[in-house]
Structure 1
Amino acid sequence: MTIQTSRRSGGRQARHAARTAPLSEHIRPVRAGLSGGQYKPLSDDGMTRIHQAALTALEEIGLADAPASGVEIMTGAGAIQGTDGRLRFPRALVEDMLAKAAKEITLCGRDPRHDLQLSGTRVHYGTAGAAVSMVDVEGKAYRDSTVQDLHDAARITDRLDNIHFLQRPMVARDIPDNREMDLNTIYACCSGTTKHVGTSFTDPDFVDDGLEMLHLIAGSEAAWRARPFVSNSNCFVVPPMKFATESCRVMEKVIAGGMPVLLLSAGMAGATAPSTVAGAIVQAVAECLAGVVYVNAIAPGHTTIFGTWPFGLDLRTGAMTGGSGEQALLTAGCAQMHRFYGLPGGAAAGIADAKLPDMQAGWEQMCSNVMAGLAGLNMVYEAAGMHASLLGFCHESLILGDDIIGQSLRCVRGIEVDDDTLALDQMREVCLGGSGHYLGTSATLARMQADHVYPTLGNRSSPKEWVENGRPDLLARATARKQAILNEPAAARFAPDLDRAIRERFTIHLPR
């Protein structure tokens, strides 16, 4: 009896050790680039009607406020400037530029292990946004976000398996000079993670300095152009149907500098976009199609992400509803339109309107993250850490979001049906003279890691075990993991000679 107990205990310990050990890439149950596309909120006819409506909007309404350089570029390609100053886009022009646009792209990481292949329904989750505050979970309060907070978010992202890229999730409000803020954003992100980074420029005059820093980090301009590991998140339009003049000038400069571009249209349904889900998608698609014309008139086939980001709005109060079912539908519908055009695309999901990482935040983040993944969205932006409808960012929520996204990716992976998974051999083994259960069978043990996603922080113990373990608190565990990560040296930190060269050339606010 003692021997049997020892064997069972040893088996449990062995299984626990196997479950908690880092998994080799080939047996991980979820990973970057799993193919979604199972969920289709739009019918084929619905997608066609949205496409036709977007073309009509471009042809009849057009976009205002393009910079002089943009007018020259787009009219040179075939756009028509009316007496009202608006640029209108003939259908044939849009179709021609869609034919030139890149259909499969790679977003590089500083470490090639983190390269993201964007095509079809391959799904990747990451951060994004421009939060102005940090969520203090212990004090249940908000404070201004800093460049140190941004760097810490990058370091945490670097350690999370299910956060595949880092787009700047907050602004460094402790750096009042916009040029220094833009440059320190690049520094803070790239010295914190070797995953792909997305950032913005507040002024076209800052782009050259940003590229110079990136050339230093890459080792040379040629090395940067061969593997650009930072993309430009570019709000090139101000909905409804107007170009953002300065952002367009930024876009022209980053394209010349070899930087990938996220064409970002972020209308608010009911305010700066139509209130209906279909109408908001139509406008976002039309605006991004104008961007496709713009980019490919400059550099055909340039690495570009079709960034339709319509947001939901609570029409009773005017508050943003990033955590709503409507938002989830907006994002999933946009993912379908990206596939309709065969273009790499991105949109927003995982946003919480909740102010803290609580139950409301959990349901809001899970709903849209699952639907975005099932719809096959290539780049799921703002998928973790965002609170208060994008006003606040939370390190603990970023860590908890890794668990949420792990479960979302398991849904994306779906159900494999083959001779092994149908399990008739297992049923024969267990039921015909076997133990009568599947616990501990060779098949169960062989697939326990490859088929199942185990939460890092989520607690699945019984109430009795939970009490015996001191009633572990989810947020406290997330805080402890944050501290453990930040107490270790950043794996992405720059070599001393590179760091010294950057600091001699630019004003860097992060301490050494």
Structure 2
Amino acid sequence: AKRPIFSAVQCPISPLTFEKGLVEAQVELARAGIPVAAMAASVTGLTSPVTISGTLAQVNAESLASLVISQAAKKGAPFIYSIDSSPGDLKTGSIDYGALEVPMIRTGAGQMSRFYGLPTMVAGVGLENLAHTMSNEWEGVPHMSIQSMIPSDLGTGFGGIDMATGASFEQLVADAWTWRVAREFARDFDTSPEAISFETIRDAGMDGNFLGKRHTISRFRKETIGSAIPQASLEVRTRPGRQGDLIRRAQEEVKRILSKPKVPLMTKEEMTKVEQCMRRSH
């Protein structure tokens, strides 16, 4: 499909296992040109080796095996390399998305995907339950800025709570607001002679002033995040806030969005095609 109306996540079952129904669905999706993300979601020490390198080796094998399934069904079928692995709490058996090793696992997987030249979904950008006590977006930036530097085309985790066992609209909005600021940490910046402006530096060396220079006036809005995104400004960052203010604002935004007239996401013709595809998969 030139413009697929949806994509699908098909998770290998770690270690090194595929469920029959998911494989059959993946074959049908591949034939229909629907992008499939093979999200290998192993838990280190429980369903993959306890070491980072061992886990990366296993999830890479699972991802490549899933790629083979898609390509065997239809050569050139769209495929997204994806992992969602994290350390496990070996006392309780719980996953731990907040573990310090998670960014390293995600970065390693992103590098593997780049090596193969595949589209990538390995960043995990959700704040999870951290958002419940935050007063503004800036408080979540340290967590998300790390994720912004992971080599990934897509991200997961928006709206998730309780280690991805649940989700909410309010959490989705809070995550999106925070990501809008945090993603700027990984942005490209202009290194052209015009951006460096040696002549401006020379002139300021004489009068000690950059504020009144044409170079500053013409470029400060796109160079300084806080001038374009109010939530990143010094005023907002230093303003006293109450715990939970971010979620309360997100709740109001959710109400505003849901009060708008509903617009169908797909046409009737597109819905019919989806239903036909799903019936074939059965």
TM-score class, shorter: 0.7 to 0.9
Highest RCO, 1 vs 2 (Cα 8 Å, sep ≥ 6): 1
Q: Calculate the TM-score normalised by the size of structure 1.
A: 0.46
Query: Does residue 1:286 correspond to 2:58, yes or no?
Result: no
Please give the secondary structure, in 2, of the residue aligned with 1:339: helix
Please give the secondary structure, in 2, of the residue aligned with 1:230: coil
Q: Residues 19-43 of structure 1: CA distance to partner in whole angstroms, max 9, x if unpaired? A: xxxxxxxxxxxxxxxxxxxxxxxxx
* Cα drift, residue 414 of structure 1: 4.1
Query: Does residue 1:242 correspond to 2:40, yes or no?
Result: no
Q: CA RMSD in A?
A: 3.5
Higher helix share: 2
Q: Residues 175-199 of structure 1: CA distance to partner in whole angstroms, max 9, x if unpaired? A: xxxxxxxxxxxxxxxxxxxxxxxxx
Query: Does residue 1:358 correspond to 2:129, yes or no?
Result: no
Larger Rg: 1
* Cα drift, residue 378 of structure 1: 1.6
Select between 401-410 and 327-336 the one with higher mean Cα deviation: 401-410
Alignment CA distance shift 1:453-1:488 (3 Å): farther
* C-alpha distance in structure 2 between counterparts of 1:361 and 1:325, whole Å: 23
Q: Residues 34-78 of structure 1: CA distance to partner in whole angstroms, max 9, x if unpaired? A: xxxxxxxxxxxxxxxxxxxxxxxxxxxxxxxxxxxxxxxxxxxxx
Match runs of 1:409-420 below 5 Å: 409-420=183-194
Report if the CA contact (8 A) 2:41-2:84 is conserved. Answer: yes
Alignment CA distance shift 1:448-1:479 (3 Å): farther
Query: Does residue 1:493 correspond to 2:264, yes or no?
Result: yes
Report if the CA contact (8 A) 1:351-1:386 is conserved. Answer: yes
Q: Calculate the TM-score normalised by the size of structure 2.
A: 0.80
* C-alpha distance in structure 2 between counterparts of 1:372 and 1:387, whole Å: 17
* Cα drift, residue 315 of structure 1: 2.8
Query: Does residue 1:335 correspond to 2:102, yes or no?
Result: no
* C-alpha distance in structure 2 between counterparts of 1:472 and 1:363, whole Å: 13
Report if the CA contact (8 A) 1:322-1:351 is conserved. Answer: no
Aligned to 1:227: 3
* Cα drift, residue 248 of structure 1: 0.6
Match runs of 1:251-330 below 5 Å: 251-330=26-105
Q: Residues 402-426 of structure 1: CA distance to partner in whole angstroms, max 9, x if unpaired? A: 2332233222224432323324332
* C-alpha distance in structure 2 between counterparts of 1:450 and 1:297, whole Å: 47
Which of 166, 181, 184 is the matching residue for 1:407? 181
Alignment CA distance shift 1:484-1:359 (3 Å): closer
* C-alpha distance in structure 1 between counterparts of 2:218 and 2:128, whole Å: 41
Aligned to 1:145: none
Q: Residues 70-97 of structure 1: CA distance to partner in whole angstroms, max 9, x if unpaired? A: xxxxxxxxxxxxxxxxxxxxxxxxxxxx
Query: Does residue 1:475 correspond to 2:247, yes or no?
Result: yes
Specify the code of the residue in structure 2 equivalent to 1:418: S
Match runs of 1:49-198 below 5 Å: none
* C-alpha distance in structure 2 between counterparts of 1:471 and 1:429, whole Å: 47
Q: Residues 472-492 of structure 1: CA distance to partner in whole angstroms, max 9, x if unpaired? A: 9433333333333333335x4
The percentage of aligned residue pairs carrying the same residue is 23
